[in-house]
Amino acid sequence: MLETITDFLADWYPVTKSLHVVSVISWMAGMFYLPRLFVYHAEQVEPGSKTDAMFQTMERRLLRGIINPAMIATFVFGLALVFTPGVVDWSFAWPWVKAGAVLVMGWFHGWLSARRKDFVRGTNTRSGRTYRIMNEVPTVLMLIIVFSVILRY
């Protein structure tokens, strides 16, 4: 049974890798855009206004329609790659660095979800500046992940 699964993963490696890359691109696009929406929402929108409702709709649809499914797909295809024979050598540092950065990206995803709920409740206390700073988090994590995978130290 295990041999059948590993054979399947090995045979489908190029497809799995491609789907993983597409999923990551989609996840990252949303992770870059949502904090930027929060900047404008925090700085230029009056709570309870029509514009507030419009921003909430945009943020909800981005999170639920793109970011959440893309994150799930990223993890599913990423784990499939981890279990594909010969893809990951855990004796090197790179898979540990990547795994740590991916977990932090997952935390950031949760942080963004919680901030969206703050806007929905009308209890956002964070400034546009805070969201501008936090907008850099996925960029830093992406650099760590990409360099760890490509350089493989």
Number of helical (H) and strand (E) elements in the chain, helices listed first: 7, 0
Q: H or E element: which one contains 144? A: helix 137-151
Q: What is the pLDDT of residues 96-139, one digit of tens each?
A: 999 999 999 999 999 999 999 999 999 999 999 999 999 999 99
CA distance 24 to 44: 31
Q: What is the pLDDT of residues 61-103, one digit of tens each?
A: 999 999 999 999 999 999 999 999 999 999 999 999 999 999 9
**Residue range(s) defining the domain that contains residue 80:** 2-151
Minimal CA–CA distance to 117: which of 65, 64, 72?
64
Residues near 6 by Cβ (< 8 Å), separated by ≥ 6? 83, 84, 85
Instruction: Domain count for the chain, please give it.
Output: 1
